Structure 1
């Protein structure tokens, strides 16, 4: 279909930058998610790709052709907005056919393409309905069909499911992924939902303050975050801030070997990397509460320094409130000034040396 190349693209508003020197290559048929909090610049970047915003600097190319200054109608892109942007005075067929009529296609060809697009998004037979008669999910399918019927080289989706309930979002994102895979169309999908990005993307671009924090596949982003921001934004992550002295984190409840220069670090580890054991010691960590999710339990643990961490345990482990526990940690990360400075015991590897306050090695107890 198409290859997209973004080089040093920026967009400034006044004295600040909404997008600041972003570069990205999107391969033919790839689905890339732009992920980040509100104000991170992801929608502005998408709108520049679609021609709805003009970059302050940088270039945008599609299949080697510079489209940076072309208006939306001159670009081989199709955009689906969060608001649907359907014409309420037209029925479904007329909404989808509008762009084809502007291209001067014969009536028979228009009808064939519109019916094909409706079937593709699961709305065969809905052409005569008014858009106000449709549910939110059906309206978003019409918006998707209106873009796909023009056969764009690149599909741009700007948080298309943000206004829908969770179950409908999950169903529609599966349908969109199926359609994208079937058509092999190069796609950029803007979202602030981490689950959506992990479920849909071939690669994820994590953005913050107009810049890219990390670009990688979902598994890499989740298992090997390169910044503290990415670690906290993707999935559930525990953070414990403490000092390193002599190559060890001297925490009241656990001691971790950490071969980094002395100073404060942020230790990060996921709930599934925590195992719990009994701790017949004075003080130490204790259970705050447990939540049964059916497939697992999430246990909130209060540490003696006032911080709280989560542990994911099998559903059969029923830890009680105020029960004292010892923590054994598998995969963990150390950050300083938002940057990763050390990663140890990745999933499937050996556990790091974690000790209880009395010096017992809990990793090998």
Structure 2
């Protein structure tokens, strides 16, 4: 196991900053996900930790040792790329053994370590097969085994399941998490999939524009977003415009109280925090679309002012397009600006309830 420390890391590619002033401590045996949209800097950070990109500023330390200028082959890291990058002319055994042969390990030791690595990823007895004989999921298992066989202190995973179908992706991420916990290996995992990060991570680093927006446990990232960007990026979130006067939102449909200055703001409301009841009264929300997912019903509403609004209700409820609905919420967050921290909003009993 090892501790990874990133200090004020930055990277410029000439046309702008891909990563700006990123600092992070990853504890022994911890799995941390770098999460963000395309271009947020997550893969660039991973490549700098692996030695494939040189930082423009900052330092990278593993167990307190500065490895910022150390080439990839001399770092105690193992990298798994999105593309499997396997050699098709080699057998599975030869693919996994390649790095060990470069280190000139004795043949019996190479055999032992390759067999252990293949067994670890569920491919015991597959060593003689060729790459073209494997499914996409099996090929990615080989890529993981090829990194693990080198016994790295830090495992780096760059969207390793992005090319796989959803069912296989979910199964493999569970297997990788099991392997990571069994080995206790410190892991940095890059993904743009929110579900993947929430399911895998001990902590999540949310990135936008090369900067860190929030670092926290998955449950806190979801329930206590630090900025408006995080609130909107993680899961589904309704943003309802409101004008505050004397600590109250001037909206009859969502009478929110919050300790914010007078002026415009956004009410941030999770779809699952919404309950609906039917109404024949004019001026209320109308159902635009209702989709039954089996486990829940996803309702797309249009509020009286034209704002689109999403609600998630139990599967036993039945709603049809065109029906009038009265939404009520248990609570919300109030944001004044994109980078502002939220203020909890207390939703009073709606006047129409």
Q: What's the TM-score once normalised by structure 2's chain length? A: 0.97
Residue 86 of structure 1 corresponds to 86
8 Å contact from structure 1 (residues 256, 354) kept in 2: no
1:221-270 Cα distance to aligned partner (Å, 9 max, x none): 00001111111111111111222122221125332222211111111110
1:110-162 Cα distance to aligned partner (Å, 9 max, x none): 01110111000001111111112211111110000000000000000000000
Residue 343 of structure 2 corresponds to 342
1:85-133 Cα distance to aligned partner (Å, 9 max, x none): 1112211111110111111111111011101110000011111111122
1:274-332 Cα distance to aligned partner (Å, 9 max, x none): 01123342212111221111122111111011111111111121123222121211131
1:24-50 Cα distance to aligned partner (Å, 9 max, x none): 000000000000000000000000000
Pair 1:353-2:353 in alignment: no
Residue 13 of structure 1 corresponds to 13
How far apart in 2 are the matches of 1:257 and 1:321?
Answer: 31
How far apart in 1 are the matches of 2:128 and 2:174?
Answer: 26
Q: Secondary structure at the match of 2:328?
A: strand
| Higher mean displacement: 270-279 or 209-218 | 270-279
Q: What's the TM-score once normalised by structure 1's chain length? A: 0.94
Count of aligned positions: 352
Pair 1:138-2:138 in alignment: yes
- For residues 143-182 of structure 1, the aligned pairs below 5 Å read 143-182=143-182
1:200-226 Cα distance to aligned partner (Å, 9 max, x none): 000000000000110000000000011
8 Å contact from structure 2 (residues 227, 342) kept in 1: no
Q: Secondary structure at the match of 2:137?
A: helix
How far apart in 2 are the matches of 1:271 and 1:185?
Answer: 37
The runs of at least 4 consecutive aligned structure 1 residues that moved more than 6 Å come to none
8 Å contact from structure 1 (residues 329, 354) kept in 2: no
RMSD across aligned C-alpha pairs, in angstroms? 1.2
Residue 27 of structure 2 corresponds to 27
Unaligned runs of 5+ in 2: none
Q: Secondary structure at the match of 2:266?
A: strand
How far apart in 1 are the matches of 2:100 and 2:159?
Answer: 25
How far apart in 1 are the matches of 2:345 and 2:63?
Answer: 41
Unaligned runs of 5+ in 1: 346-351
Q: Secondary structure at the match of 1:294?
A: coil
How far apart in 2 are the matches of 1:254 and 1:118?
Answer: 56
| Higher mean displacement: 49-58 or 236-245 | 236-245
- For residues 1-365 of structure 1, the aligned pairs below 5 Å read 1-251=1-251, 253-338=253-338, 339-344=340-345, 352-355=347-350, 359-360=351-352, 362=353
